[in-house]
Structure 1
């Protein structure tokens, strides 16, 4: 499994548009083989920071999903929310691998000892 962490700088005056943008992308990620863990918006502290986390079974599965950007009408529509509102000022994407708690209390499960497909 690979988890994408997207760190956003948003326009605080466009938070509602960012929420619409986020809800749309959550649907698209889930529809195309991923699991969206949600968008996280400012509550206290900096008012212009937001995060999104979503996972795919492998980097190859993520790349298949990414191949739809700019081509699939639903993806274009979702990006239009961002572009027309100006809710996203910039973003940075990172990929992480999980270290998960084990259900029986034994040492944490990692990609290496869980037999999860990982690619560099």
Structure 2
């Protein structure tokens, strides 16, 4: 039995480039959904730390996530979204965690 997996990303972003990071997030929400996942959104700074953002997305299984990762390396829109982040330097670093979600 495969278990659903949620990916939690914690980003350290450039606080002066929140608009660029927002655009990066908008691109990836659609791409994750198109490549088999369910994106739960990006969460930008509001109060508190101004350089920390988060994202959550779920795949039916770890194997599905791995297929997404592989597909995203060759997908032109994914490559372009990654290039955008590199060029704008809106992301300083990120951490990825895998979680087992509990839904009703």
* Same fold? TM cut 0.5: yes
Stretches of 4+ moved more than 4 A in 1? none
Shift of 1:68: 2.2
Partner Cα separation in structure 2 for residue 36 and residue 45 of structure 1? 24
- The structure whose residues are more often helix, as a share, is 2
Partner Cα separation in structure 1 for residue 44 and residue 65 of structure 2? 24
Bigger CA radius of gyration: 1
Where relative contact order (Cα < 8 A, 6+ residues apart) is larger, the structure is 2
Partner Cα separation in structure 1 for residue 73 and residue 60 of structure 2? 23
Q: Aligned residue for 1:78?
A: 81
Partner Cα separation in structure 2 for residue 32 and residue 39 of structure 1? 17
**Structure 2 length as normaliser, TM-score?**
0.94
Indicate yes or no: 2:17 matched with 1:14.
Answer: yes
The equivalent position to 2:103 in structure 1, one of 60, 80, 100, is 100
Unaligned runs of 5+ in 1: 102-120
Q: How many residues align?
A: 101
**SS of structure 1 residue aligned to 2:74:** coil
Unaligned runs of 5+ in 2: none
The equivalent position to 2:50 in structure 1, one of 43, 47, 59, is 47
The equivalent position to 1:29 in structure 2, one of 17, 29, 32, is 32
Indicate yes or no: 2:68 matched with 1:65.
Answer: yes
What is the root-mean-square deviation of aligned Cα atoms in Å?
Answer: 0.8
